[in-house]
Amino acid sequence: MLVDNHNRTINYLRLAVTDRCNLRCNYCMPSEGINFAPNDNLFTIDELRKLSVILVGQGIDKIRITGGEPFVRKDLMVLLRHLSQLKGLNDISITTNATVIGPYIDELKALGIKNINVSLDAINRDTFERITRRKEYETVHANILRLITEGFNVRINFIALEEQNTQDIIPILELTKDFNVCVRFLEEMPFNGGTKSFSKLKWDYRHILEHIKEGFPNYYKLESEKTSTSINYKIPGYKGSFGVIPSFSRTFCGSCNRLRISATGDVITCLYAKASSNLRDIMRAENSEIGIQNEILKAVGNRAKTGFEAQEKYKDVFSNSMTSIGG
């Protein structure tokens, strides 16, 4: 079992398989993109499999596959097949933009991988294309509807972006009327490659909830798991639910059970902190299993208590792009 220096049990790994993405969302990276890592700086699929075995052996029982966009990696299904057979791993989840997941849906279902988070920041086509800088609206919506109707546990992650998409907050909630889907509204975070930073946030989770109350005054709060980052709600008569994630307000730090490993091997114990170590070279050296176990124990044993404490220590962390840190 992994227990950090603040007595929090760490059992959830967000594992990035690539830093590449086929969208260019304006809150994630500059319009010109970023310098993606060379292929030989990324973990191979066999290395990702070995890394997962080691971490599950240390007490990780939930792995979320992230990117970049994980499905731009053509050998991703090889890893997912391995993970689906890994004893002690109780939950395999995926975060995707749903642009290229279509051909893999049947096999995901066969492997029992049912928890899919989809990043979708607009229900309106023009708004979607303006934010993503790509024309993938039809594909994304078709894949989302297919995932929902085929029984996947779909959660839609919608980042509230001031003067960009907040007019879509009420309309996107209509998806929860007839479909058992959860729409989660996230506060914007300033990890976009250094093109924007802020100290205050207009559209924080309280403002989002006040806005929703204007359209749905009778929504009520649901009980959430202790380690949930999302505060969840339901609209009476609607099949689905919605939530808010205070990713900038950081109200959930006290129960954080997460560890991140980037596609290049960086161990990230908090999004607002610098990487505490890198596992890639250790993985490629002798006695790699013991070396990785020790690095994980060291990282977990030196976590910041909160994201605010981490931000104070690492003031230049916002120069990162979200796609490079497994966001």
> Which residue has tokens 């029982």?
61
Q: Quick check: 69 pLDDT over 90?
A: yes
pLDDT digits (tens, 9 = 90+) for 280-317: 999 999 999 999 999 999 999 999 887 777 777 666 55
Mean pLDDT of the chain: 91
- Residue whose C-alpha is closest to residue 92's, from 75, 111, 110, 73: 111
Percent over 90 (pLDDT), the chain: 76
Contact between 273 and 314 under an 8 Å Cβ cutoff? The reply is yes
Categorize the per-residue pLDDT at 194 as very low, low, confident or very high, splitting at 50, 70 and 90.
Answer: very low
pLDDT digits (tens, 9 = 90+) for 71-108: 999 999 999 999 999 999 999 999 999 999 999 999 99
> Which residue has tokens 């929860």?
176
Tokens standing for residue 269: 């114990």
Cα-based angle 205, 235, 141 (whole degrees, multiple of 5): 80
Percent over 70 (pLDDT), the chain: 92
12 - beta bridge partners? Answer: 62, 258
pTM of this prediction? 0.92
Categorize the per-residue pLDDT at 15 as very low, low, confident or very high, splitting at 50, 70 and 90.
Answer: very high
pLDDT digits (tens, 9 = 90+) for 103-135: 999 999 999 999 999 999 999 999 999 999 999
Helical axes 45-57 vs 76-84, angle rounded to 10°: 30
pLDDT (average), residues 155-174: 96
pLDDT digits (tens, 9 = 90+) for 200-253: 788 999 999 999 999 999 999 999 888 888 999 999 999 999 999 988 877 778
Q: Quick check: 196 pLDDT over 60?
A: no
CA distances to 15, 36, 68, 115 from 19, rounded to whole Å, are 11, 6, 4, 21
> Which residue has tokens 């960009």?
164
Give the pairing type, strands 2-3 and 9-10.
antiparallel
Tokens standing for residue 70: 């994980």
Categorize the per-residue pLDDT at 190 as very low, low, confident or very high, splitting at 50, 70 and 90.
Answer: confident
First CA to last CA distance, the chain: 25
The pLDDT score that the predictor gives to residue 195 is 47
